[in-house]
């Protein structure tokens, strides 16, 4: 073949073109390429591989124009578009003969061009000339087509040229990709299959260099916009397409691409596993488009390999598309006998065949035959018409999906249809067209576990909810293998590794840190659930038993090999007793992955206590947020924090409804042990997660107040007086009143039900238990509640011993006795330090008082060890960490450490150094006095002030860092100026900071700085300065530095500190009630767990508890030896757990626990019902609905304007105006009066619509005004509150 010149010589524009070439190459290097060539060692190797493939497959092309002779393909490579606007890029291309095998082209596209395998193929066909596209239809088409391609990972196939519908598709891809920041969404595959002969300036793409007999292609072929000659049938390639196949048939004419494109689409449509559905989208078009639709719908007779391709018609785009839509409407209820006559009478078909009405009867009859076969065949059901006026298809992507579902290959395959809807993320179509009542037998018989796995992995909450409502039973669905696969496929997926930082990265990091003993690198996936259990245990601070620690959660070798195919498995049934509550495990999975909607779905399905479950989820999310904060991932931190707050709000909402219905059962829900969440309580979870809003709830506070008072009834001043004096005069206790029998439950069941065995109830599933409990609700009644009793001799009275126990065991009584005895301890401590602290070598030293204090403090230290042992975490290490997480416990540790050091120094130091022991004793006494602040948390007014002090101390620490920098800088500089060349001594640094520190408080040292001191004054300096300052050479420098330092420190820094304190005060003051109530829980919990006697008498309680614990261990061991069953251990422990009234932890029996679960679930459902009703009445809903109605009216008005031709904006078209004969025919068929009447009616309707729209706008404006007025009133109220708070603060100061 002769090598022709690729670019014609141009004299005037050559320099401009060369500049654009250089610019385009630079842009190409800056932008990400659209072909994944990273799998190859270099770009040159990739190019050679393509050339070798083309040669080995003997791909041919025509030798020249008008020649039927074939030759080896040498026109391939990469097109570099130049001058086509910003964002133009390169695209691979190949020139092939029209008879090229489709399988070879598929191999080229997938294995050598490395195009991503499509899940859907969207073939767009239509007009090959520019045409008018209505603005609204154009926007819908652009968004819908782009969304369809992006959401499914599909290909868009067009003619590839820069005119007609191909140009519209390219513009749609370009415009819509600008609005996305996701790289995967930017690179939509758009394959252009065009005719080689009609491409203008195609000579730039056919020259290639040779290396022996191997054609290496053209890399790149520079396709310059200014060199194009668009005349006659010549057109350009569209630069927005990503790949090109140029079909050569040796002619400069359209049509060569139709056959090859149809063959390629049919080949892709025939691929079985995995199947790639194909849909044809028709926009405008002519006779060729109708033929394409006909061949796509009706396969050749006898060819079973060719499948029908569903068609989507965009009505309103004109010509062929409108003709097919009109034919479908008119022949909807017409039999085959009268079909042809109706079609022949349609003028729109004649206009498509020949707009000039010079009808070629042969061509018209052929086209009429295509219409007749399409309309009369059963394949007409595979045609979907997209109309803007229809509510069913508001978006074109939904119409495309609807068309795909009509394909014969998918009609009876529910799972494949659902996979298509999942890829499209269109749950509305799945709900309305797949999972319907008419098709109930089909989707009930189908195995849809694979679709459920896909929905879970791809985070499709709408689909998960749909499957759970109709087709999936979690008891049968969730297996250990599937749960393991869910974690594995999400955490270790390529998207999660390459994507933005998320909780998946945190989980992956934590999982990698847990390398269990005996696990090799390849067996990690088998132990994945065990490692997940350790992650959950770590996030919850080891306070609960580890999940998935049993041997059954370790996958076998065979299960490990099958785990990759678990999502596609449809026949795996859940083994018995693998998961008692599968919703709980999927709920945990969703929470760990921070999938909000998914977690909420499974939370609503839980039957194990919705309040505790929501709080538990919030705690895990708070723990994950702390990891994100450590990694400085602030976006993720705020996202996780907001997600945790959402679950806290859900718990509060359910608690509100429960508390309104039954206060006693609501309080019981707070303190019951949640067996499914590690045996903890709602209170414990909320405090550990710092869920202050929940603890602030009225139900929580009333319960805490009841726990604080114990069984003592105190509701009046007389009862308070009696309570206080009873501490001094115990004989008053018999005259007090007490509360008993709280939360006792009476079972009033029929006699025949009493005979049922407990084992029968235990064997029921969780759902059956809940059903039975709800069924027994009428016979299952709580007791009468707390009953008031006095000390007396009647059967119902409280004995004197019980009354004293109620009084002294109340947390409030323990607190006041502890305060009283602690004050006594401080008095004794202060007394011997002030009066009798002498060295041990002297007589009667230590004194009796000091020995008492030492023994007293020893009991306090023992109590601290008891508190560590009673912490929730299972391991000793995490118990210590949990104990140390409280700042007051750290303070206690320092206090006792100083006390122990003081005792050691007190007995070891000599008389000369005894002052050191005295110093440590004094510092320890200061710490003991500071410890009294913790007692202030019980008081509503003092507690917030103590919190402010600690918050301000934290601010002070940060401030001191800044202050030390200024003190050191000015102190050392001024000291070096006043006292140059000082003697080497470590004390020089102390001397340097001495003056600047005390200058903060007003001690300026001006005499020394200005040189006004004498020798006597210098030598009396407490800093041991042995000479006077030298100020003769530069007397002005030190005063100037001092002035600058005083300006910065006393004015700037001190005011900064005041501002920081003011901000902290305001922040704490705004929610002082919430903060105080939160910390009050820990104080009440601490004194609830404390023994009845206060130190030092507490040692007797410790001895009693130790003996009781030893006896329980002995009894447990003996019973286990007899029964040899692990279950007996739980029974023995349960027997020794006392079920006390007004306590913070209650273990319920199975029946009561299930009743309480049902109680919470019922009110959870009521909460969502109320929430939806409130939203429907809210102004946000009103404004939203008003906006929707306004949008609908504006769309209707725009449509009417288009119908009557009053639209002010129209695109320039190439449609020729009607000739005189056509005008005459128009006037003859439509009288002027009739047309004027119709236009008048339409104008009237438009004006009516405008009036309605104005009314809606006015209503919307009124709502907005009301909202603004409310906001202004709220601002005024807030200003008044701020003024009142500031006045109150000033008065307090």
Inter-residue contact 903 to 896 (CB < 8 Å): no
Q: Report how far residue 113's alpha carbon sits from residue 246's, in angstroms, rounded to the nearest whole number.
A: 15
- Rounded to whole angstroms, what are the CA distances from 214 to 206, 247, 749, 964, 987? 15, 21, 93, 76, 86
Q: Which two tokens stand for residue 253?
A: 């004419």
The neighbour count for residue 1005, using CB atoms within 10 Å, is 19
Q: Report how far residue 282's alpha carbon sits from residue 324's, in angstroms, rounded to the nearest whole number.
A: 10
- Which candidate, 380, 578, 572, 329, places its Cα nearest to that of 475? 578
Inter-residue contact 131 to 164 (CB < 8 Å): yes
Inter-residue contact 382 to 411 (CB < 8 Å): no
Kind plus residue range of the DSSP H or E element containing 51 = helix 43-56
Cα torsion angle, 606, 612, 614, 616, sign: negative
Inter-residue contact 915 to 925 (CB < 8 Å): no
Contacts of 881 (CB under 8 A, 6+ apart): 541, 873
Give me the pLDDT at residue 15, please.
44
Strand segments, DSSP code E, in 669-744 are 737-740
Strand 60-62 relative to strand 210-211, pairing:
unpaired
Q: Which two tokens stand for residue 1130?
A: 């739980």
Give me the pLDDT at residue 1171, please.
87
- Which candidate, 411, 420, 415, places its Cα nearest to that of 443? 415
Q: Report how far residue 477's alpha carbon sits from residue 464's, in angstroms, rounded to the nearest whole number.
A: 12
Q: DSSP H helical segments within 230-315, as ranges?
A: 256-269, 287-297
- Which candidate, 679, 696, 678, places its Cα nearest to that of 687? 696
Kindly list the averaged pLDDT for each block of 10 residues, start to end, along the chain of length 1293: 36 42 42 42 78 88 78 88 75 91 92 89 84 73 82 87 86 75 64 90 72 66 82 83 89 81 88 83 88 84 72 87 89 78 82 68 83 86 79 71 74 78 83 81 77 91 91 88 92 62 84 67 77 89 81 74 47 59 93 94 92 95 92 89 95 94 91 88 92 94 90 82 84 82 39 38 48 44 55 73 86 92 95 91 89 95 89 78 87 94 92 92 95 86 87 91 91 84 81 87 79 55 54 75 90 92 89 87 89 89 84 65 52 50 75 90 92 73 59 60 47 42 40 54 63 63 64 66 56 48
Q: Report how far residue 777's alpha carbon sits from residue 1040's, in angstroms, rounded to the nearest whole number.
A: 86
Confidence (pTM):
0.77
Q: Report how far residue 412's alpha carbon sits from residue 204's, in angstroms, rounded to the nearest whole number.
A: 50
Give me the pLDDT at residue 522, please.
60
1250: helix, coil or strand? helix
Q: In what order do the strands lie in the sheet with 189-195?
A: 218-224, 76-82, 90-97, 243-248, 189-195, 155-158, 121-126, 278-283, 311-314, 383-386
Q: Report how far residue 1128's alpha carbon sits from residue 1126's, in angstroms, rounded to the nearest whole number.
A: 5
Kind plus residue range of the DSSP H or E element containing 1180 = helix 1179-1204
Which of 1134-1139's residues contact partners 24+ apart within 8 Å by CB, and which partners? 1136/1112
The whole-angstrom distance between residue 422's C-alpha and the CA centroid of its chain comes to 20
- Rounded to whole angstroms, what are the CA distances from 342 to 289, 333, 349, 371? 21, 12, 11, 11
Give me the pLDDT at residue 23, please.
46
Contacts of 869 (CB under 8 A, 6+ apart): 879
Strand 311-314 relative to strand 155-158, pairing:
unpaired
Q: Which two tokens stand for residue 1193?
A: 């009216």
Q: Report how far residue 810's alpha carbon sits from residue 719's, in angstroms, rounded to the nearest whole number.
A: 15
Q: Which two tokens stand for residue 124?
A: 């767009």
Give me the pLDDT at residue 854, please.
95
End-to-end CA distance of the chain: 100
Q: Which two tokens stand for residue 643?
A: 């997600």
């Amino acid at each position: 073949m002769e090598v022709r010149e690729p670019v014609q010589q141009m004299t005037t524009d050559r320099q401009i073109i060369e500049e654009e070439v250089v610019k385009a190459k630079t842009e190409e290097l800056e932008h990400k390429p659209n072909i994944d060539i990273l799998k190859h060692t270099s770009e040159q190797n990739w190019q050679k591989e393509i050339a070798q493939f083309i040669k080995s497959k003997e791909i041919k092309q025509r030798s020249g124009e008008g020649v039927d002779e074939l030759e080896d393909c040498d026109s391939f490579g990469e097109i570099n578009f130049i001058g086509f606007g910003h964002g133009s890029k390169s695209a691979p291309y190949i020139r092939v003969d029209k008879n090229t095998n489709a399988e070879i082209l598929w191999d080229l596209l997938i294995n050598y061009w490395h195009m991503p395998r499509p899940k859907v193929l969207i073939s767009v066909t239509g007009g090959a000339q520019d045409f008018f596209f209505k603005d609204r239809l154009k926007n819908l088409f652009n968004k819908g087509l782009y969304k369809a391609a992006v959401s499914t990972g599909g290909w868009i196939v067009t003619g590839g040229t820069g005119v007609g519908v191909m140009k519209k598709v390219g513009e749609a891809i370009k415009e819509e990709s600008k609005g996305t920041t996701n790289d995967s969404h930017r690179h939509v595959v758009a394959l252009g299959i065009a005719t080689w002969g009609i491409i203008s300036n195609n000579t730039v793409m056919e020259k290639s260099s040779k290396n022996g007999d191997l054609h290496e292609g053209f890399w790149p072929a520079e396709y310059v916009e200014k060199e194009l000659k668009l005349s006659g049938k010549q057109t350009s390639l569209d630069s927005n397409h990503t790949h090109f196949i140029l079909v050569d048939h040796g002619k400069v004419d359209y049509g060569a691409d139709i056959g090859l494109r149809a063959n390629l689409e049919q080949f892709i449509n025939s691929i079985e596993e995995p199947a790639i559905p194909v849909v044809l989208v028709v926009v405008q078009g002519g006779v060729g488009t109708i033929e394409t639709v006909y061949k796509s719908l009706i396969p050749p007779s006898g060819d079973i390999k060719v499948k029908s391709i569903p068609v989507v018609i965009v009505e309103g785009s004109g010509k062929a598309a409108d003709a097919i839509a009109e034919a479908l409407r008119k022949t909807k209820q017409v039999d085959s006998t009268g079909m042809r006559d109706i079609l022949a009478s349609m003028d729109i078909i004649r206009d498509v065949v020949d707009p000039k009405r010079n009808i070629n009867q042969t061509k018209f009859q052929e086209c009429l035959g295509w219409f007749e076969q399409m309309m009369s065949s059963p394949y007409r059901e595979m045609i979907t018409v997209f109309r803007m006026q229809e509510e069913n298809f508001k978006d074109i992507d939904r119409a495309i999906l609807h068309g795909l579902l009509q394909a014969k290959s998918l009609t009876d395959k529910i799972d494949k249809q659902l996979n298509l809807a999942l890829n499209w993320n269109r749950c509305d179509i799945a709900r309305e067209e797949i999972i319907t009542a008419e098709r109930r037998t089909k989707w009930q018989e189908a195995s849809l576990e694979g679709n459920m796995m896909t929905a879970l992995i791809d985070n499709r909450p709408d689909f998960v909810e749909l499957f759970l409502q109709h087709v999936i039973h979690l008891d049968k669905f969730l297996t250990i293998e599937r749960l393991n696969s869910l974690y594995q496929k999400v955490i270790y997926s390529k998207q999660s590794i390459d994507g933005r930082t998320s909780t998946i990265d945190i989980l992956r990091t934590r999982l990698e840190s847990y390398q269990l003993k005996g696990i090799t690198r390849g067996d990690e996936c088998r132990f994945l659930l065990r490692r997940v259990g350790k992650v959950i245990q770590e996030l919850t601070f080891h306070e609960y038993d580890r999940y998935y620690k049993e041997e059954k959660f370790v996958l076998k070798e065979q299960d490990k090999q099958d785990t990759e195919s678990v999502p596609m498995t449809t026949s795996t049934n859940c083994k018995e007793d693998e998961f008692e509550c599968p919703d709980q495990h999927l709920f945990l999975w969703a929470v760990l992955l921070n999938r909000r909607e998914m977690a909420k779905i499974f939370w609503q399905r839980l039957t194990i206590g919705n309040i505790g479950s929501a709080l538990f989820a919030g705690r895990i999310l708070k723990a994950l947020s702390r990891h994100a904060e450590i990694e400085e991932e602030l976006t993720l931190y705020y996202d996780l924090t907001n997600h945790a707050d959402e679950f806290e709000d859900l718990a509060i909402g359910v608690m509100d409804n429960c508390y309104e219905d039954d206060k006693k059962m609501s309080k019981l829900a707070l303190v019951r042990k949640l067996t499914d969440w590690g045996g903890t309580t709602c209170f414990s979870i909320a405090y550990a997660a710092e869920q202050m809003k929940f603890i602030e709830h009225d139900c929580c506070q009333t319960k805490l107040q009841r726990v604080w008072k114990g069984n003592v009834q105190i509701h009046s001043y007389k009862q308070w007086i009696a309570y206080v004096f009873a501490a001094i005069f115990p004989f008053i206790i018999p005259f007090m009143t007490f509360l008993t029998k709280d939360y006792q439950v009476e079972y009033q069941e029929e006699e025949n039900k009493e005979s049922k065995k407990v084992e029968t109830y235990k064997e029921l599933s969780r759902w059956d238990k809940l059903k039975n409990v709800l069924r027994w609700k009428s016979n299952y009644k709580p007791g009468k509640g707390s009953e008031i009793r006095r000390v007396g001799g009647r059967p119902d009275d409280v004995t004197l011993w019980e009354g004293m126990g109620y009084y002294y065991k109340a947390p409030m009584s323990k607190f006041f006795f502890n305060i009283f005895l602690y004050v006594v301890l401080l008095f004794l401590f202060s007394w011997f330090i002030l009066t009798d602290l002498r060295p041990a070598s002297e007589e009667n030293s230590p004194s009796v008082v000091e020995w008492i204090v030492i023994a007293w403090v020893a009991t306090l230290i023992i109590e601290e060890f008891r508190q560590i042992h009673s912490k929730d975490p299972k391991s000793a290490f995490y118990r210590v960490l949990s104990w140390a997480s409280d700042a007051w416990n750290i303070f206690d540790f320092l206090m006792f450490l100083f006390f122990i050091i003081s005792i050691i120094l007190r007995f070891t130091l000599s008389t000369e150094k005894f002052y050191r022991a005295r110093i440590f004793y004094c510092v320890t006494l200061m710490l003991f006095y500071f410890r009294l602040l913790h007692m202030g948390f019980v008081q509503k007014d003092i507690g917030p002030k103590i919190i402010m002090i600690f918050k301000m101390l934290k601010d002070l620490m940060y401030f001191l860092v800044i202050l030390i920098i200024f003190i050191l800088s000015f102190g050392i500089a001024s000291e070096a100026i006043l006292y140059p060349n000082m003697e080497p001594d470590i004390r020089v640094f102390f001397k340097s900071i001495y003056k600047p520190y005390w200058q903060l408080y007003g001690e300026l040292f001006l005499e020394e700085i200005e040189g006004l001191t004498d020798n006597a004054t210098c030598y009396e300096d407490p800093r041991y300065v042995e000479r006077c300052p030298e100020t003769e050479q530069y007397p002005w420098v030190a005063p100037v530095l001092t002035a600058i330092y005083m300006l910065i420190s006393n004015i700037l820094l001190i005011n900064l500190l005041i501002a920081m304190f003011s901000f902290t005060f305001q922040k704490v003051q705004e929610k002082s009630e919430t903060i105080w109530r939160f910390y009050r829980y820990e104080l009440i919990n601490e004194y609830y767990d404390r023994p009845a006697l206060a130190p030092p008498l507490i040692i007797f309680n410790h001895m009693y508890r130790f003996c009781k614990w030893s006896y329980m261990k002995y009894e447990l061991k003996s019973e286990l030896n007899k029964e040899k069953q692990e279950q007996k251990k739980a029974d023995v422990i349960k027997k020794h757990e006392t079920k006390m009234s007004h306590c913070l932890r209650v273990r319920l029996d199975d029946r009561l626990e299930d009743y309480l679960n049902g109680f919470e679930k019922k009110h959870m459902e009521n909460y969502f019902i109320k929430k939806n009703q409130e939203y429907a009445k809210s102004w946000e809903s009103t404004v939203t609905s008003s906006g929707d109605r306004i949008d609908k009216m504006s769309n209707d008005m725009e449509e009417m304007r288009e119908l009557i031709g009053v639209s002010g904006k129209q695109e320039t078209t190439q449609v020729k105006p009607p000739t005189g004969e056509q005008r005459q025919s128009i006037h003859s068929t439509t009288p002027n009066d009739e047309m004027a009447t119709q236009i008048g009616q339409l104008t009237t309707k438009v004006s009516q619509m405008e009036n309605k729209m104005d009314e809606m706008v006015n209503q919307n404006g009124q709502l907005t005004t009301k909202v603004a007025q409310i906001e202004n009133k709220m601002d005024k109220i807030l200003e008044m509150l701020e003024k009142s708070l500031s006045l109150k603060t000033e008065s307090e100061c």
